Amino acid sequence: DIQMTQSPSSLSASVGDRVTITCRASQSISTYLNWYQQKPGKAPKLLIYGASSLQSGVPSRFSGSGSGTDFTLTVSSLQPEDFATYYCQQSYSLPYTFGRGTRMEIK
């Protein structure tokens, strides 16, 4: 199985900050990497697919990059509604494994 390692596991930031989350795959997954946002008590929401494509309806302050084994999710200017947990997930091969999540909290 492909292991997905996210860092940091949590971070504190302020509204307006630029933040970056990293995800590393245990083997090359090309650009088969997706990012999700999850708020308490809710289902995950797809933000980025194919490593860098913005899902319809997602604000442009979210962006993704990377290929192979190393990927990043960047939020250019944090808004109050962005404080949530973020997960990366590989869709290269079964089982489609997730990272352990990055919890983003208000500083």
Partner 1 sequence: QVQLVQSGAEMKKPGSSVRVSCKVSGGTFSTHTITWVRQAPGQGLEWMGRVIPVLGTADYAHNFQGRVTITADKSTTTSYMELSSLKSEDTAVYFCARPADRGTFDIWGQGTKVIVSS
Q: Given the rule CB under 8 A, which residues bind partner 1? A: 1, 32, 34, 36, 38, 43-46, 49-50, 55, 87, 89-91, 94-101
Q: Cα–Cα distance between 10 and 105 in angstroms, integer?
A: 8
Q: Cis peptide before 95, with omega less than 30 degrees from 0? A: yes
| Closer CB to partner 1, 36 or 71, in the complex | 36
| Closer CB to partner 1, 16 or 40, in the complex | 40
Q: Are 32 and 49 in contact (CB under 8 A)?
A: no
| Closer CB to partner 1, 14 or 94, in the complex | 94
Q: Give the type of residue at 65.
A: S
3-state secondary structure of 55: coil
| Closer CB to partner 1, 49 or 78, in the complex | 49
Residue 56: CB minimum distance to partner 1, A? 9
Instruction: Tell me the CA distances in angstroms from 93 to 58, 86, 96, 97, one per residue in order.
Output: 26, 21, 6, 9
Residue 16: CB minimum distance to partner 1, A? 28
Residue 1: CB minimum distance to partner 1, A? 7
